[in-house]
Structure formats: structure tokens, C-alpha cells
Amino acid sequence: MTRRIGYARVSTVDQKLKVQKTALERDGCAIIFEEKRTGTKRNDREQLELALKVLTKGDTLVVTRLDRLGRSMRDLANIVHEIEEAGAHLRVIEQSVDTGTSAGRAFFGMLAVFAQFETDVRRDRQAEGIARAKKAGVYTGGKPQIDRQEVRKLAAAGNGPAAIARDLGVSRMSVYRILREDEGTATD
């Protein structure tokens, strides 16, 4: 008996799976594995792993869009290979892909290339945006630096580490670390 097994994924816990689940149910999926995890890496995608494990000969793993399954060509190729090893095939509803046919396998290959391209372009745009923001002084990246001179000035004025930390909006440990550094330099 062949089964249609659905896999629905969104990237964050704030996003909803309802639209994907409805489409998968309409496509005849009786079992739907749901996940709220990023698709850029396959690690920790437990529901995907379960969906792949339950596939048997003649089954179809169904997703609404290819990017729900993975974003890199390597991941997509590996996933499809696992599906094929189980004797099953992949169906992508919105992109009309069915790896059960030779035309579907060819189309899947092209879509995988475009999925990788889209990921690369998104990464490049993000890097360009960060570079522009840094140049404009809007984005400095990393954690804000503690004004060490201000810590020393407040300590010299008789303020305790807790008061200094509260005034500067930093942790007490950071204040203690700076003051300890000063003690180490004074005795050397």
C-alpha cells in the first residue's frame, strides 16, 4: 500500500504551519511531520529524519515547496537520495515536481540549483547590507565595548562595582574584571 507522507517546515517558532498543512492534507497526506527549524542546515531537524525513516517502497514524501525540504543543493540531493533508497519518491506541490518520473527528476535538479543560488544571493545581500551599515556607522557588530575609562573614573570616585555596573548597564563581572586588570597592572 502506497502512502503520501507530508513534511511541513517553517523557519521560526513565530511562523505558522497551517497553510502548508492544509495543502498537504488536500494532496492526500494522512501523515504530516511538522517542524519549526531553520532549513539552512539539516542538523536538529528531527521530524524530517523521522519522515525519511518511515518511508517504504512506493511511498511519496510530499512538501509544498522545495525550500521547505532544504536550501542547499547538497542537502536536497542527499535527501532525495535517501528517499530513493527507501524506494519512495518526492513530490513538491507548488513547483509540480515528482521524482517518480524522469522529467520530474530533471526538473528537481534544476530547482535544486536555483534553491542554492537563492541561498547564496540572500547571504551576499546580507553581507552587503552589513557592510553598508558598518560604513554608515549604524552597525558595529559584536557586543558593545565597555568604556573602561568610565569604569575607572567611577571607581576612583568611590562607587562600588554594583553601582558602576548599574550606571553603565553592564554586568558586575565585567566591572570586576576591569578593576582586577588595573590591580594586576599596579602591582607589576
Q: Which residues are catalytic?
A: 11
Instruction: Please choose, from the candidates 123, 130, 62, the residue with its C-alpha nearest in 3D space to the C-alpha of residue 91.
Output: 62
The residue written with cell numbers 528531527 in the block is 46
- Across 125-153, b (16+ Cβ under 10 Å) vs e yields eeeeeeeeeeeeeeeeeeeeebeeeebee
d(CA 23, CA 100): 20
d(CA 21, CA 9): 9
